[in-house]
Amino acid sequence: MLTRDEFHVYRKDGVIVPGVTTVMGNLHDYGCVPQWALEYASERGRNVHTGSAIIDRGQEIGSIDPRCEPYLDAWKLFTQREKPEWAVVEQMLFDPVRRFAGEPDRAGWVFDGYNIIDIKCTVDAHPAHGVQLAAYQLLCEAAAHFDSGSGRFVVQLKPDGKYVVHQYKDPMDTVTFLSCLAVYNWKERNRVN
């Protein structure tokens, strides 16, 4: 059984396995961003992810933080325009061969194909998002959700209720994630910080 605790520590049958963001380490450095701003953005992101999953499962959201409303409006606009059919909605997945876990935001039929979607409320798109999506693609393949021909997209939700779609095609994204995983595993085996 795959579980995750409140600190985002994954366990497969009781044994700790690394998650995607842990493996990626510092590919995206937020060192110049004040801690309060990171905490604010993190909380907003969690709330938007929770709200968007409720929307995609066809449930009523109820009361939400007013700061999240425009982002959720953007997600509703995206789903109305694109009419996705999701196979994966915030589902924990595990790769039994490479031994890592993660939780892709969405995977399913959208943009005329079976694709992986990550929802972001960030100010800018970042190349590391492609690496994260490549990891989710590996997880979806391991879970037999679909094959490697899938596309990888970020849907960037904006505070004005609009969204921007970014596609990630760099084949080195997968290589980069697997390299990060190899370094992570080496450090764990050798107890290197």
- What is this structure's pTM? 0.92
Tokens at residue 25, please? 């380490």
Across the strands, what pairs with 107?
88, 116
CA distance 117 to 13: 28
Q: What pLDDT is stored for residue 77 in this prediction?
A: 98
Cβ contact 102:20 at 8 Å: yes
- Total domains in the chain come to 1
83-89 average pLDDT score: 94
Q: What pLDDT is stored for residue 40 in this prediction?
A: 86
CA distance 124 to 14: 37
Residue-wise pLDDT for 132-144, tens only, equals 999 999 999 998 7
Domain that holds residue 42: 2-189
CATH code assigned at 114: 3.90.320
